[in-house]
Amino acid sequence: MQDNRIRKLVIVGGGTAGWMAAAALRRHFQGGPLEITLVESSEIGTIGVGEATIPTIRGFYQRLGLSDIEVMRATGATCKLGIRFNGWAGEGQSFIHPFGLFGQDLRGIPFHHYWRKLAQAGEPTDIADYSLGASLAAAGKFMAPPRNPASSLSIFDWALHFDASLFAQLMRRVAEDNGVRRIDAKVTKVNLRPEDGFVASLDLHTGETLEGDLFIDCSGFRGLLIEEALRTGYESWSDVLFCDRAYAVQSEGVGDPMPYTDVTAQSAGWRWRIPLQHRYGNGYVYSSRHVSDEDALAELKAAVPDPPLHEPRQIRFNPGRRKQAWNKNVIALGLASGFLEPLESTSIALIETGVEKIKALFPDKDFAPELVDEFNDWSKREMERVRDFIILHYWANKRGDTAFWRDCNTITLPDTLQRKVELFRQRGHFVRYRWEMFQPASWMAIYAGFGLLPEMVDPALDGIDPKTLSAPLAEMRKAVREVVAAAPPHGAFLEEYCRPVPIAAQ
Ligand SMILES: Cc1cc2nc3c(=O)[nH]c(=O)nc-3n(C[C@H](O)[C@H](O)[C@H](O)COP(=O)(O)OP(=O)(O)OC[C@H]3O[C@@H](n4cnc5c(N)ncnc54)[C@H](O)[C@@H]3O)c2cc1C
pLDDT tens digits for range 2-55 = 889 999 999 999 999 999 999 999 999 999 999 999 999 999 999 999 999 999
Task: State residue 379 phi and psi, 5-degree precision.
Answer: -65, -45
User: In the chain, what percentage of residues exceed pLDDT 90?
Assistant: 94
CA of 333 to the centre of ligand 1 (A): 10
Q: Are residues 253 and 399 in the same domain?
A: no
What's the mean pLDDT when you consider all of the chain?
A: 96
In the set 80, 141, 328, 357, the catalytic residue is: 80
pLDDT tops 60 at residue 396: yes
Report which of 79, 72, 74, 70 is spatially closest to residue 52, judged by C-alpha positions: 79
What pLDDT shows up at residue 99? 97
Domain extent at residue 135:
101-154+388-490
Closest-CA residue, ligand 1 atom 50, reads 50
Least confident of 149-158, 184-193, 235-244: 149-158
Report the alpha-carbon angle 443-20-97, nearest 5: 20
Same domain, 145 and 176: no
Residue that wins the pLDDT comparison between 2 and 214: 214
Contact 421, 392 (CB under 8 A): yes
CB atoms inside a 10 Å sphere around CB 491: 19
Whether residue 91 is contained in a domain is answered as no
Q: Quick check: is 503 in a domain?
A: no
Indicate if the pLDDT at residue 501 is higher than 70: no
Mean pLDDT value across residues 479-492: 95
Burial class of 306 by CB neighbour count within 10 A (0 to 12, 13 to 18, 19+): middle
The mean per-residue pLDDT over the stretch 111-124 comes to 96
207 and 281 co-located in one domain: no
* Residue of 47, 260, 266 best suited for mutating to test ligand 1, as the one with most atoms within 8 Å of CB: 47
pLDDT attached to residue 506: 45
57, 170: one domain: yes
Instruction: Look at residue 500 in the predicted model and tell me its pLDDT.
Output: 58
Instruction: Classify residue 506: in a domain, yes or no.
Output: no
CATH number of the domain that 194 lies in? 3.50.50.60
pLDDT exceeds 90 at position 414: yes
Q: Residue 409: in which H helix or E strand, if any?
A: helix 403-409
Confidence of residue 255 (pLDDT cuts 50, 70, 90): confident
Kindly state the average pLDDT of the residues 86-98: 97
Q: Which atom of ligand 1 is nearest to the CA of 46?
A: 29
For ligand 1, mutation pick of 162, 263, 335, 353 (most atoms within 8 Å of CB): 335
Residue 258: its pLDDT value, please?
97
Residue 139 shares a structural domain with residue 269? no
For residues 497 and 69, is the Cβ–Cβ distance under 8 A? yes
Look at residue 2 in the predicted model and tell me its pLDDT: 82
80 is catalytic: yes
Pocket test for ligand 1, best of 39, 219, 271 (most atoms within 8 A of CB): 219
Residues 397 and 486 in one domain: yes
Asked whether residue 486 falls in the same domain as residue 394, the answer is yes
Q: Residue 48 Cα, ligand 1 centroid: separation in angstroms?
A: 7
Assess if residue 497 is contained within a domain: no
Long-range contacts (CB closer than 8 Å, 24 or more residues apart) made by 448-453: 448/95, 448/112, 448/127, 449/85, 449/88, 449/89, 449/95, 449/96, 449/97, 450/88, 450/89, 450/396, 450/397, 450/398, 451/89, 451/398, 452/396, 452/421, 452/424, 452/425, 453/116, 453/425
Give pLDDT, residue 253.
86
Same domain, 66 and 181: yes
Residue 293's contacts (CB-CB under 8 Å, 6 or more residues apart) are 245, 314
Ligand 1: residues with CB < 6 A are 12-18, 39-41, 44-47, 49-53, 164, 186-187, 218-220, 224, 246, 248, 283, 285, 315, 317, 334-336, 342, 345, 347-348
Domain count, the chain: 3
Residue 34 lies in a domain: yes
Same domain for 291 and 392?
no
208 found inside a domain: yes
Ligand 1: which residue has its CA nearest to atom 33? 13
| Residue nearest atom 49 of ligand 1, based on CA coordinates | 14
- Is residue 305, in this structure, part of any structural domain at all? yes
Given 276, 291, 316, which residue is the final one in a domain? 316
Residue 146 in domain = yes
pLDDT, residue 505, reads: 47
Quote the CA–CA distance of 327 and 336 in Å, as a whole number: 12
Closest approach atom of ligand 1 to CA 18: 25
Q: Which residue, of 316, 335, 364, is where some domain finishes? A: 316
Nearest alpha-carbon partner for 46 in 34, 38, 58: 38
Statement to judge: residues 304 and 180 lie in one domain: no
188 CA closest ligand 1 atom index:
41
Instruction: Please write down the HEC assignment for all residues of 153-174.
Output: HHCECCEEECCHHHHHHHHHHH
